[in-house]
Homo-oligomer: A and B are copies of this chain.
Amino acid sequence: MTRFEPNLRIPGPTALPPSVREAGGRQMVNHRGEEFKALLRRVETGMKPFFGTDHEVILLTCAGTGALEAAVVNVLSPGDAVLAVTMGAFGDRFAKIAEVYGAAVTRLEVEWGKAADADSVRAAAAAIPALKAVLLTHNETSTGVTNDIGVLAAAVREVAPNALLLVDAISALGAVPFAMDDWGLDLVVTGSQKAWMAAPGMAMAAVGPRAWAAGETARMPRFYLDLKRHRETAVNGETPWTPAVAVLYQVEEGLRLMQAEGEGVYVRHAAAQAMTRAGLRALGFQLLADDAIASRTVTAAWIPDTLDWKAFNAGLKRRGLVIAGGQGRLKGRIFRVGHLGSVTTDDILAAVGVLEAVAIEQGIDVRPGAAVAAAQQALLAGTGSAA
């Protein structure tokens, strides 16, 4: 069936709403002028409630990976003892960055598809003398699992009250409630192309006082990603280097849409998640993550041995549905459906409809309409009405 714009259901970049697209096409301004200063301040301030923080939010011109690097190099010195709690490709990346810069990294490897449990994290933290920092993933994009960061943070605090808590919250922050200050987190990062409904190119780091203090003695080299330089220029409404102005226009507009929607943002993501899971299950797919730890922003499903994945995915693409494959050790073994940012329950109903049609085409035994009916039931059960 003809479709005039793909249904982009990867876990970022996410599809841009019309007003965000328009923002991306705006003319440039002087990045040292008053108009830009006001823009930067609106975004920095507007982001804080989504982080659940009163601390500074620093805007960086880079991908999320750059923000992970910023989190590491701004607070650590070579040789520092670091615990990296990993449960997927992005947790591995975070740990790798710390290693590249010379930290003494101990990995607590959680099985991919599972969440970290507090007891294991507490024990691992307790076993490391002079533990300087713990690297945590909030939402592991490669597996569709969300950690309970508040609980994990509390567990670390019990045994290592001085350890810094550095959190990769790139792929779910903004889509789910988050409480950086209440949970006692020190540095939390996210990226523009996820829940924020903007194009990629900017990352945001919320930095607490303990992280700033650690930065005063941290000896890992840094320049472009130096958060202190960003903090110093932010006082004047500027960034130290030329920022990705057009991406910032989009972030501001996405933020405006999120502010207007209020709590509805979280309701919408929860509904999209429930619909996706119900639809995939009705098609007979096994989901990677249990319900209790499943991500609100991305759902991973196992590819059955009986399914010709290439033919299946080609069928989806022909109908304009774009989903993601697996990463790292799960490459070729799972597929992932993104449901974050501008996602609507209509988008998910359409996606489940295409998945169902192609599944039937590929010989999966399913009654026509069963998957979309399941998704619809999940929507109505969760919200009582279309979100």
**Which residues of A are interface residues toward B (Cβ below 8 A)?**
5-6, 8, 10, 12-16, 21-33, 61-66, 69, 96-97, 100-102, 191, 193, 199-202, 220-225, 240-247, 250, 322, 324
A21 to B25, CA, bound (A): 4
Closest to A317 in B: B33
Kindly identify which residue among B15, B65, B221, B242 contacts A63, using a CB–CB cutoff of 8 Å. B242
Question: How near does chain B come to A171, taking the closest CB pair, in angstroms?
Answer: 11
Q: Determine chain A's interface SS by DSSP, over half rule.
A: loop
What's the least CB distance linking A325 to chain B, in Å?
8
B residues less than 8 Å from A200 (CB atoms)? 31, 61, 242-246
Chain B neighbourhood of A15, CB < 8 A:
27-28
* B30–A5 touching, CB < 8 Å: no
Residues of B within 8 A of A225 (CB): 224
Residues on the B chain within 8 Å of A14, using CB? 28
Min CB distance, A25 to chain B, in Å?
Answer: 3
B322 touches A30 (CB 8 A): yes
In the bound complex, CA of A199 to CA of B64 (Å): 19
Given contacts A12-B242, A13-B31, A27-B5, contact A201 B65 (CB under 8 A): no
Contacts of A223 in B (CB 8 A): 65, 69, 96-97, 100-101
Q: Could you tell me if B22 and A224 are in contact, using CB atoms closer than 8 angstroms?
A: no
Closest Cβ of chain B to A220, distance in Å, is: 7
